[in-house]
Amino acid sequence: MKVSVIGTGNVGSTLAFVLTLKNIIDELVLVGRSKQSVLGDVLDLRHGQLFVNTPAQVTAGTISDTAGSDVIAVCASVPTPKNMSSRLELAQGNVQLMKELMPELARMSPDCKIVMVSNPVDVLVHYALEFGGFRPNQVIGTGTLVDSSRFRQLLAEELRIHSEDIRAYILGEHGDSQFPAMSCADVGGETLDATPGRYALFERASRAGFEVLKHKGCTNYAVALAAAEIIECIANDSKHTLPVSLRVDGFLGVDDVCLSLPAVVGRNGIERVLHPRLDEKEQAAFLHSANVVREVIASSAPEKEDH
């Protein structure tokens, strides 16, 4: 299993560290602005290989060194604006970045699975598919996986039940228009009532990333663990169901944008997209998310080059 991580800022370097602990990869290639810029991380990770069960070969590389990757995790991003209030503020710069990266990554590893971590993730999953010419199953965004994890953790504290035993998804955009799919939330087969208190927990979960950003200037641990979970599902063909950003396959008439839906993730990437039974309010929220992302896709489209 060869994994390449593109972009070794706070998230990329944390993801690289988590991957070396997972014992699922043979080769890890870190790609930054230059080989020199990632050498510190590479050496630091190599120095710790004695303490992991299955040492991986960790190298600093360029895009050409990613050739033959099974998975490529994209964490590269333009700088985050100070006091950023919406991930959509990164759209223009990061779409341009994907335009530069994706064709070459696709040429080097045409059968790889792309795990998109950079934001706005739904918009970038769309453009990764467009610029790279990948099949829809090949590109997976972390999407609302972390949002759902945050929500389940808050519910677990209220219910005094392990978060792993709670089935509760946040779906739609990884952003302001996301929503909790309370109509299909349950624990042990018992429906979780959609109380005002639980909607308040959703609001807390939804803004939690910005809370972390305010206190430490970045978010890295949870999203790196989420990305590593996706990669582990691919490596082990786990076929776990995860709420991830993907090309919507006609659900509620939507087929032109990328949003988070529960999907079975395995060796082939997106193995199957699940269609949860949403109530009318949730269906409207999903369609609203689609409109939000659709507008950003249109407004951040790179200008066509004259020939």
Look over the chain and give the mean of its residue pLDDT values, rounded to a whole number: 94
Secondary element (H or E) of residue 29: strand 27-31
Q: Would you state the pLDDT for residue 209?
A: 87
As given in the structure block, the two tokens for residue 285 are 């929220």
Distance from C-alpha of 302 to C-alpha of 65, rounded to nearest angstrom: 27
Buried b / exposed e over 83-98, threshold 16 CB at 10 Å, is eeeebbebbbebbebb
Domain CATH number, residue 253: 3.90.110.10
Instruction: Evaluate whether residue 306 is within a structural domain.
Output: no
CB atoms within 10 A of CB 255: 11
pLDDT tens digits, 260-288: 999 999 999 999 999 999 999 999 999 99
As given in the structure block, the two tokens for residue 203 are 């609001």
CA-to-CA dists, residue 8 to 11, 17, 60, 84, 267, angstroms: 7, 11, 11, 21, 25
CB distance 70 to 266 below 8 Å? no
Q: Would you state the pLDDT for residue 54?
A: 84
Is pLDDT at 306 greater than 60 in this prediction?
Answer: no
CB distance 29 to 4 below 8 Å? yes
Catalytic sites, residue numbers: 174
- DSSP E strands: which ranges in 177-239? 179-180, 186-187, 190-191
Instruction: Evaluate whether residue 307 is within a structural domain.
Output: no
Is pLDDT at 122 greater than 90 in this prediction?
Answer: yes
With cut-offs at 50, 70 and 90, classify the pLDDT of residue 88.
confident
CB-neighbour burial class of residue 58 (10 A; exposed 0-12, middle 13-18, buried 19+): buried
Q: Which residue range forms the structural domain that includes residue 181?
A: 144-299
Residue 95 and residue 205 share a domain? no
Residue 116 and residue 67 share a domain? yes
Distance from C-alpha of 26 to C-alpha of 106, rounded to nearest angstrom: 21
Of 92, 119, 141, which closes a domain? Answer: 141
Q: Would you state the pLDDT for residue 33?
A: 86
Residue 157 and residue 285 share a domain? yes
Instruction: Evaluate whether residue 92 is within a structural domain.
Output: yes
pLDDT tens digits, 126-168: 999 999 999 999 999 999 999 999 999 999 999 999 999 999 9
Domain CATH number, residue 52: 3.40.50.720
Give the residue-averaged pLDDT of 6-33. Answer: 95
With cut-offs at 50, 70 and 90, classify the pLDDT of residue 213.
confident
